[in-house]
Amino acid sequence: MVSPKLYTYPLSTSQNMATAGKVIKCRAAVAWKPNAPLVIEEIEVAPPQENEIRIKVIATGVCHTDLYHLFEGKHEEGFPAVLGHEGAGIVESVGPGVTDFKPGDKVIPLFISQCGDCVFCKCPKTNLCERSWTSVRYGIMSEADSRFTCRGKVILQFMGTSTFSEYTVLNQIAVAKISDDARLDRVCLLGCGISTGYGAAINTAQVTPGSVCAVFGLGAVGLAAVMGCRNAGASRIIAVDINEDKFAKARALGATDFVNPKKHSKPISDVLSDMTNGGVDFSLECVGNVAVMRSALESCAKGWGVSVVVGWTDMADFSARPIQLIAGKTWKGSLFGGFKSKDSVPKLVLDYKSGKINLDEFVTHNMPLEKVNDAIELMKTGGCIRTILDVSPK
């Protein structure tokens, strides 16, 4: 494991004089091991190194991918870590070589970077970046290097972001600068869930006007996919979830039909086929369950149906009969909604401001960082869409 170098550099007058260049001691929720509650600890956050930015995190959402790492993936090597990847904050200080950010800027940490120089960044067909943790440490879900220590141990930065901490440090290729008047306790959701589901519909599926869509799973990701289908002009959006409490929000965001798979004895793909005279044009899996991924594919129309895997898992293989694809369906996956992160997130913030996308509808709970385990429990039991944690209350 690499230990953080406590690099210091001369203070410039534009830096936050009180803390710039120094180690900051602050509160963070540490996941010491899989399958156990997070512990609020005092951690040390090193100053930003070359090309890095230290951010005071103001607000963060809790996403199912945090729960996946803690309870489902359980990659031992990915601990101890500070979870959280759906945050927004304010630049506290910047390291040498950072020219596009200054203390006081409002920012969103990005779990996929956009370096601008790699083969992926230069290709308009993908939002991957060679310098993202996703390219090198996929199984461990964290950055190889970390700026955090606690009780003498290096604490990993989950998804490179670690927003369940009052301060975090990221390379500037993984930070989006957003407008000064952005509401941080809303736009934090653009750091993951909403951009992911919305982009999966508009960028990856490329939902067309008048089409018939089905969205499986109505957490924030699935509800954002519903919103994407609606904004793309779908004529019918079938919302599928085993928890009927989710249907009201889905209706508010544009769903027209509602299906609870538990209420049907036949396969859900047959139910959808009957409802649509042969299958939907686009389906989006927003659960993270390989059986549901198969159902979503099977629910598509032969000839042209497109099914997008959005839910996150690498715990099991998926399977389907080859005839599904031979018959002309397309099966695709989507990471962060296909958005090139640094370019797109500031624009999505403006889309929220103009009313093109809704974020308020997704926020069902607000809590202080100390209650993070309650927020996790709420998501586990399906009792929330998004809980916003106040990380550094003003």
Residues at the site binding ligand NAD, with contacts judged by CB under 6 A: 63-65, 68, 192-193, 196, 216-222, 240-243, 246, 261, 286-289, 292, 310-312, 334-336, 379, 382
Tell me the backbone φ, ψ of residue 139, rounded to 5 degrees.
-70, -25
Of 195 and 299, which has the nearer Cβ to Zn ion?
195
Count of alpha carbons within 13 Å of 303, Cβ hemisphere only? 5
3-class secondary-structure state, position 109? strand
Tell me the backbone φ, ψ of residue 342, rounded to 5 degrees.
-65, -35
With CB under 5 to 8 Å by kind, the binding choice for 87 among ligand NAD, Zn ion, none is: none
Residue nearest ligand NAD (C-beta atom): 219
With CB under 5 to 8 Å by kind, the binding choice for 68 among Zn ion, ligand NAD, none is: ligand NAD
Tell me the backbone φ, ψ of residue 48, rounded to 5 degrees.
-65, 140
Nearest-angstrom CA–CA distance, 145 and 1: 8
Can residue 46 be called a binding residue for Zn ion (CB under 5 A)?
A: no
With CB under 5 to 8 Å by kind, the binding choice for 312 among ligand NAD, Zn ion, none is: ligand NAD
Task: Figure out which of the listed residues 192, 200, 272, 384 binds Zn ion, where binding follows CB under 5 A.
Answer: 192
Can residue 134 be called a binding residue for Zn ion (CB under 5 A)?
A: no
- Using alpha carbons, list the distances in angstroms from residue 252 to 101, 109, 190, 223, 249: 37, 29, 19, 10, 5
Residue nearest Zn ion (C-beta atom): 63
3-class secondary-structure state, position 65? helix
Of 63 and 91, which has the nearer Cβ to Zn ion?
63
Of 182 and 378, which has the nearer Cβ to ligand NAD?
378
User: With contact defined as beta carbons under 8 Å apart, do 229 and 198 qualify?
Assistant: no
Of 277 and 381, which has the nearer Cβ to ligand NAD?
381
Of 12 and 243, which has the nearer Cβ to ligand NAD?
243
Of 187 and 192, which has the nearer Cβ to ligand NAD?
192
Q: Give min distance, CB of 229 to Zn ion, in A.
A: 20
Can residue 65 be called a binding residue for Zn ion (CB under 5 A)?
A: yes
Q: Give min distance, CB of 153 to ligand NAD, in A.
A: 27
Helix (H) or strand (E) run with residue 171 in it: strand 167-171
Contact footprint for Zn ion (CB under 5 A): 63, 65, 192
